[in-house]
């Protein structure tokens, strides 16, 4: 018996629709998670157990050392996950990015070739970003897939922020078309599918990899085992780390029901066009400097001035509570970071944000 059979079916349906958005096969499995951190952890652990199956019995000891590859723009939840898994910072190969903040494929190839000389190690996992938290950069997914395939590594894509742009009517959808080549994908409906958190999720191409990683049995769990006849009647604790869990999938199921894939596609497309509008406004502005734009919805820019000044501008914007912008550093420079993922945002918000920044600078300068 399952604790909440109706909830399980609804979550299964929501995941099914998301799988379709990613063009993932029917054999794929998945589950909802608190957010991107746990989604990344779940995908990475599935990959680790697939590539180093001795870990469950022996632990990481007395065998080849698994190495993991990702770019210097990778979200720090990936680092946290790999440390939790016992991999260690020294075994995470942080690869430089190119001018557009996507991973440098040549350096990655050379690093892997170099690592393979030492047979105490083996390349276990390659991580792709789609897109990065800082700027929305999307790694070359096809190239990373080929590298992963050639070296027999797991390919995990952190698409927590950008993944849903695959269904948009923009260039982003082309850059994301190969997302289905991944062995696992982390997604966050609370990032760019317009629902409140927690609505993270992980998809794994072969659902058996998830089950192999997470299914452990016990006498008192007899009443919670999966009913194998019904494909949707899965017990999600067998496909993820936690046991009891909230009914996170309901809001995602309702959202897709209400808007449909087409409606969501239009909303994401609008966000991306708004980001392009903001980038254009910044470029045209005499005092603003565009630091990054991407095919997604993040735009980074700065007032042509010192870092100290910048922090004051951002803190003032945040204190005024009309716009939630954040700050980051790009190529050593502090920048204002705008990420447009609200379905109600429109061009007037962009215009007013720039006006607000002008006013703040004017006040700070006088």
* Contacts with 158 (C-beta within 8 Å, 6 or more apart), sequence order: 36, 40, 74, 75, 78, 127, 128, 129, 130, 186
Q: Give the shortest CB-302-to-a copy of itself separation in angstroms.
A: 14
Binding status of residue 55 toward a copy of itself by CB under 8 A: yes
Task: Identify the bridge partners of residue 200 per DSSP, sorted by sequence position.
Answer: 33, 188
Q: Sheet holding 298-303: strands in order across?
A: 288-292, 298-303, 333-339, 326-330
Q: Which stretch binds a copy of itself (CB under 8 A): 4-12, 51-59, 99-107, 161-169?
A: 51-59
Specify burial of residue 46 (Cβ count, 10 A radius: 0-12, 13-18, 19+): buried
Q: Which run of H or of E encompasses 61?
A: none
- Contact code string over 118-157 relative to a copy of itself, x by CB under 8 A: ---------------xx-----------------------
What is the closest distance, in whole angstroms, from the C-beta atom of residue 88 to a copy of itself in the complex? 3
Binding flag, residue 217, a copy of itself (CB under 8 A): yes
In a 10 Å sphere around its CB, with 0-12 CB exposed, 13-18 middle and 19+ buried, how is residue 272 labelled? buried
Out of 41, 291, 341, 357, point to the residue binding a copy of itself (CB under 8 A): 41
35 in contact with a copy of itself (CB under 8 A): yes
Query: Does the protein bind a copy of itself through residue 38 (CB under 8 A)?
Result: yes
Residue 327 binds to a copy of itself (criterion: CB under 8 A): yes
x/- map, 155-174, a copy of itself, by CB under 8 A: --------------------
Least distance CB 84 / a copy of itself (angstroms): 6
Instruction: Choose which of 105, 143, 151, 241 interacts with a copy of itself (CB under 8 A).
Output: 241
Q: Do 302 and 288 form a contact (C-beta atoms < 8 A)?
A: yes
If one asks whether residue 91 binds a copy of itself (CB under 8 A), the answer comes out as yes
Q: How far apart are CA 189 and CA 32, in angstroms?
A: 10
Q: CB of 299: closest distance to a copy of itself in angstroms?
A: 14
Do the Cβ atoms of 201 and 188 come closer than 8 Å?
A: yes
Single out the residue of 7, 12, 45, 350 in contact with a copy of itself (rule: CB under 8 A).
Answer: 45
Nearer to a copy of itself, 25 or 86 (CB): 86
Candidates 96, 106, 315, 351; binder of a copy of itself (CB under 8 A) is: 315
Closest contact distance (angstroms) between CB of 258 and a copy of itself is 22
Size of the site for a copy of itself (CB under 8 A): 59
Task: Work out how close the CB of 161 gets to a copy of itself at its nearest, in angstroms, rounded to a whole number.
Answer: 11
4, 53, 83, 106: which one contacts a copy of itself (CB under 8 A)?
83
Give 262-309 as a DSSP string. HHHHHHHHHHHHHHHHHHHHHHH-TTEEEEE--SSSEEEEEESS-HHH
To 10 degrees, what angle do helices 76-84 and 36-51 make? 50
What is the C-alpha to C-alpha distance for residues 292 and 300, in angstroms, rounded to an integer?
A: 5
Q: Using the rule CB under 8 A, is 331 a contact of a copy of itself?
A: no
> Would you give the DSSP letter of residue 203?
E
Q: Return the SS3 of 128.
A: strand
Least Å distance, CB 60 to a copy of itself, is: 4
Pairing mode, if any, of strands 121-129 and 200-204?
Answer: unpaired
Q: Least separation, in Å, of the C-beta of 197 and a copy of itself?
A: 5
Q: State the minimum distance, in angstroms, from the CB of residue 104 to a copy of itself.
A: 19
Nearest residue to 87 via CA among 41, 133, 22: 41
- Contact positions vs a copy of itself (CB under 8 A): 1, 34-38, 41, 45, 55-61, 65, 75-77, 79-81, 83-91, 133-134, 190, 197-198, 214, 216-223, 241-246, 314-315, 318, 326-329, 337
């Amino acid at each position: 018996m399952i604790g909440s059979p109706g909830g399980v079916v609804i979550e299964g349906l929501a995941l099914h629709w998301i799988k379709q958005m990613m063009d993932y096969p029917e054999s794929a499995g998945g589950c909802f998670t608190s957010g991107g951190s746990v989604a990344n952890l779940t995908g990475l652990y599935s990959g680790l157990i697939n590539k180093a199956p001795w870990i469950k019995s022996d632990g990481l000891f007395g065998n080849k050392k698994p190495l993991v590859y990702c770019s210097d723009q990778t979200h720090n939840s990936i680092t946290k996950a790999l440390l939790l898994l016992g991999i260690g910072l020294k075994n995470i190969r942080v690869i430089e990015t190119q001018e557009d903040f996507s991973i440098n494929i040549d350096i990655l190839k050379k690093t892997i070739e170099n690592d393979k000389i030492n047979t105490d190690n083996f390349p276990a996992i390659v991580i792709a970003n789609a897109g990065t938290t800082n700027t929305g950069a999307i790694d070359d997914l096809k190239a990373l897939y080929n590298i992963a395939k050639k070296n027999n590594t797991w390919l995990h894509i952190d698409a927590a922020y950008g993944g849903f742009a695959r269904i948009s009517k923009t260039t982003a959808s082309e850059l994301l078309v190969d997302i289905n080549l991944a062995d696992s994908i982390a997604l966050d409906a609370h990032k760019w599918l317009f629902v409140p958190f927690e609505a993270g999720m992980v998809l794994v191409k072969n659902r058996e990899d998830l089950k192999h990683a997470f299914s452990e049995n016990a006498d008192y769990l007899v009443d919670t085992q999966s009913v194998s006849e019904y494909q949707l009647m899965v017990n999600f604790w067998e496909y993820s780390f936690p046991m009891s869990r909230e009914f996170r999938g309901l809001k995602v199921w309702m959202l897709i029901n209400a808007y449909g894939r087409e409606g969501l596609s239009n909303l994401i497309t609008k966000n991306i066009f708004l980001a392009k509008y903001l980038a254009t406004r910044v470029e045209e502005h005499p005092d603003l400097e565009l630091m990054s734009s991407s095919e997604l919805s993040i735009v980074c820019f700065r007032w042509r001035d010192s870092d100290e000044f910048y922090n004051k501008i951002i803190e003032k914007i945040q204190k005024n509570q009309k716009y939630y912008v954040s700050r980051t550093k790009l190529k050593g420079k502090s920048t204002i970071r705008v990420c447009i993922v609200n379905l109600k945002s429109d061009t007037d918000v962009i215009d007013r944000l720039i006006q607000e920044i002008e006013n703040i600078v004017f006040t700070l300068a006088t």
